[in-house]
Amino acid sequence: MSGDQGEKANKQTSGGEQVVTPWDVQADEGVDYDKLIVQFGSSKIDDDLVKRMERVTGQKVHHWLRKEIFFSHRDLGEMLDLYEAGKPFYLYTGRGPSSGSLHFGHLVPFVFTKWLQDAFNAPLVIQLTDDEKFLWKDLTLEEANMLAYENAKDIIAVGFDPKKTFIFSDVDYIGHMYPNILGIQKKVTLNQVRGIFGMNDSANIGQFSFPAIQAAPSFSSSFPIPLRGDDDIPCLIPCAIDQDPYFRMTRDVAPKLGFRKPALIHSKFFPALQGAQTKMSASDATSSIYLTDTAEQIRHKIKHYAVSGGGDTAEEQAANGANLEKDIPYQWLRFFLDDDAKLDQVAEEYGAGRMMTQEVKDMLGDVLIGIVAKFQADRAKVSDDVVKEFMSVRPLEF
């Protein structure tokens, strides 16, 4: 699973059409998400579905659902039907280990997955694709495997329930999934992989076979011990919309193996600090804010790099107000400020020019610093023993 999921930026295209694939996102004027739903053939998460989730879980939905940040799905309705009929589902997400620490873009799918886990009392499996990183990047397998364990600490710090969460490294766990991997591999041709994932002929043969390894956790029989031998538990995958093609392949293959198709719930892209039009780079420390950044670094990055939609001068801002669509501090607040009333107020005041860019940036700084402080405190508590517990092959409680 791409480590950059949840944060893809847009490149200018000359043709005017938008291209969204797991390895490339191109769109002229920002991604047209409604068009994407049509293009991908997924379904919009509408008010009825949101209301239904609230009814089923007996609680308000996560604000990202209300704000349509998680906006599209496949078979989520059926998942709720089954849930109501007493058939629980499990959640599957993942991360490609990397040397960098988590940034806010990484946090989005995990925070949302945690909410799903709590709301639906669902078991969760988290795949750390150390094998993938080794196959694609210039690092040793030992390094990739070690990073998986390091990254697990970050993930655990998001607050998952140890009784319900199984985190695994592919290198360590592959033997358990191998029968399903073989079944999937058998149903997918080299041509299909080339078509879906854009592999060329100089790609290595591991890259060609990897899609099966990413697909296997979508089927509960890959977890005979954690899911306690129930090979018919439906799977729900929260992911950024650009990851959809991976799981479309999985969904195509599922009936050929006698398995249920995994359901999906898609998020929009998390914009880079420099704006939705710039290419996000994990190696460019200025395009992201890390959960290891100090308060000074956070304020500095927001001040210097966050693209503003406000007027160039105080006068202009007062006269015309801010372009909220373009304004990264406001867009980031939509993600991380959980107070709807306060956010509405910012939109109102800032959009009308009664609030200055600096005030919004300060507000974002406060919010992020608060999140980072809590995260760092939580992460400090994650010992090697805790990691071991999350990563040991054991029956989950659900």
Partner 1 sequence: MAEGYPEAEAKPKAKKPRPLPPPPPPALATASLLVRGAAARVLGLSPGPCGGELQPIWVTEPGCSKITMSFEGTSREPFPKEDAHNALLIALEAETNRLAAGGRIAVFEMDKADAEKKYGEDIYEPKSQRPDRLRLAHLPGAALVEIPNNWSLCASTSDCGKIEFLAREVEAGSKKKPDTMIMAKKKQVFVKFSVGNPDAPAADIGGEMPSEDEAKALTDKSVRVEVLGVDVKDEAKEEPASKAAKSVTEEVKAEGEMVVDPWSVKGKIDYEKLIRDFGSTKISDDLLERIRKITVGSGRVSDLHCWLRRNIFFSHRELDAICALQEKGKPFYLYTGRGPSSAAMHLGHLLPFMFTQWLQKAFDVPLVIQMTDDEKFLWKGEYDPEKGDNLHVYKRFTIENAKDIIACGFDKKKTFIFSDLEYVGHMYPNIVRVWKAITYNTARGAFGFVGESNIGQSAFPAVQAVPSFPSSFNVPFKGDQHLPCLIPCAIDQDPYFRVTRDIAHKLVPKDHPLKGKPSLIHCKFFPPLTGAEGKMAASDENSAIFLTDTPEDIEKKITKYAFSGGRQTAKEQREKGADLDADVSYQWLRFFLDDDAELQKIEEQYGSGQGEDYWSAGQVKKKLIEVLKQMVKKHQEIRASITDEEVAEWMKVRELDF
Q: Interface residues with partner 1 (CB under 8 A)?
A: 131, 134-135, 141, 170-176, 178-179, 181-183, 185-191, 193-194, 199-209, 211-212, 256-258
174/371 with CB nearer partner 1: 174
Instruction: Output the smallest distance, CB 299 to partner 1, in A.
Output: 31
187/303 with CB nearer partner 1: 187
Angle between helices 244-257 and 205-215 (to 10 degrees): 70
Instruction: Output the smallest distance, CB 148 to partner 1, in A.
Output: 13
201/296 with CB nearer partner 1: 201
199/386 with CB nearer partner 1: 199
Instruction: Output the smallest distance, CB 144 to partner 1, in A.
Output: 9
* CA distances in angstroms from 251 to 91, 210, 236, 237, 245, listed in the order given: 15, 16, 12, 12, 10
165-169 and 19-21 as β-strands: parallel, antiparallel, unpaired? Answer: unpaired
Instruction: Output the smallest distance, CB 192 to partner 1, in A.
Output: 8
| Distance of alpha carbon 361 from alpha carbon 283, whole angstroms | 24
Instruction: Output the smallest distance, CB 146 to partner 1, in A.
Output: 13
139/282 with CB nearer partner 1: 139
Q: Let me know how long the chain is.
A: 398
For the chain, the distance separating the N- and C-terminal CA atoms, rounded to the nearest angstrom, is 25
Instruction: Output the smallest distance, CB 257 to partner 1, in A.
Output: 7
109/211 with CB nearer partner 1: 211
Inter-residue contact 120 to 89 (CB < 8 Å): yes
56/174 with CB nearer partner 1: 174
**Number of alpha carbons in the 13 Å side-chain half-sphere of residue 294:** 3
Instruction: Output the smallest distance, CB 149 to partner 1, in A.
Output: 15
DSSP state of 239: E
> Looking at beta carbons, which pairs linking 19-24 to residues 24 or more positions away fall under 8 Å?
20/241, 20/242, 21/198, 21/242, 21/245, 22/197, 22/242, 22/243, 22/245, 22/246, 23/197, 23/198, 24/198
